[in-house]
Structure 1
Amino acid sequence: MISVKMQEAINNQVQEELYSAYLYLAMAADSEEKNLKGFANWLRVQYQEETGHAMKLHQYVLERGGKVSLKAIQAPPAEFGTPLQVFEQVLKHEQHVTSLINKLYETAVSEKDYAAQIFLQWFIEEQVEEEGNATEILEKLRMVGERSGAVLYLDKELKKRVAE
């Protein structure tokens, strides 16, 4: 059985993951409006991943005999700037999510919830990957600077990303 404190912490993380999904969907729409279909595709796949993360947490609470309590999701911004600015925000957001996952793990430790600690290992590893992917794209955007041809090449490359 899951403790009330752990249940509440995971329910809060579900909200955070759904906000992340909403944020990436808004970023995808902004990119699409700018005719950057590859960036939009990458961000839509990210939206799907974040939704999957929320569902994984949601299901865990239920499997542990807890109660899922969904909370309101804040509206994200509608405009995000250049691709470089978008990926600066993506990396900053993923770093924020990493800190939330770390706090969630700390809660599992303080609650002596060994099952949650094992479960959360996947999320810890996932955040390493998320930050790495965002950093790689951000560094490439910094490298190419304002050269539109290079940005369009990256856009073409990002169009190849598919949901796993």
Structure 2
Amino acid sequence: MKTVYSLIIACTLMLAACSDNKQVELYNTKAALPASAKYNLGGLKVITSFVNKTKGTASTLYGNDLALKAAIEGNKIIAGNEIFTLVTWKQQDDDHWFGAKIPSDVESVEVIKTASSGNNVAINYQQLNGKPLDLKTDTSGQAERIKYILGQKPSVLP
């Protein structure tokens, strides 16, 4: 009988020693966007979201009502007063779900604003990088990024 009690106590101690005391956050505060006057997501709606597994990033494209309407209708003609904002996060493992990935630190925020004057439409592109959202001054590759962002198809919602 003493052997059975000793065995039960030993098993209980072994199971207690196997616990993981790592604190797990309930909310993903790491992915929060810093407050900045350089961009404004207020009033913007989600157009689409996607993941780039090779780069380990997750992105969400937001737009104002005009941009969302143009994306849904498949307009290839750029109109004035459209605002597109592409937010890209690095990914991290999810502590709550084995094998899942969730957004981590902000990698970039890309903002496209259009303005019309007569028959001409001007496109203003800005890229803000990192957590402090520093403005990228290098203008190479802007045309490709604009074409890529404006070419995104909207998510289909029921």
TM-score range, shorter chain: under 0.3
Higher strand fraction (1 or 2): 2
Larger radius of gyration: 2
- TM value normalised by structure 2: 0.27
Return the structure number with greater relative CO, CA threshold 8 A, min gap 6: 1
TM-score by length of 1: 0.26
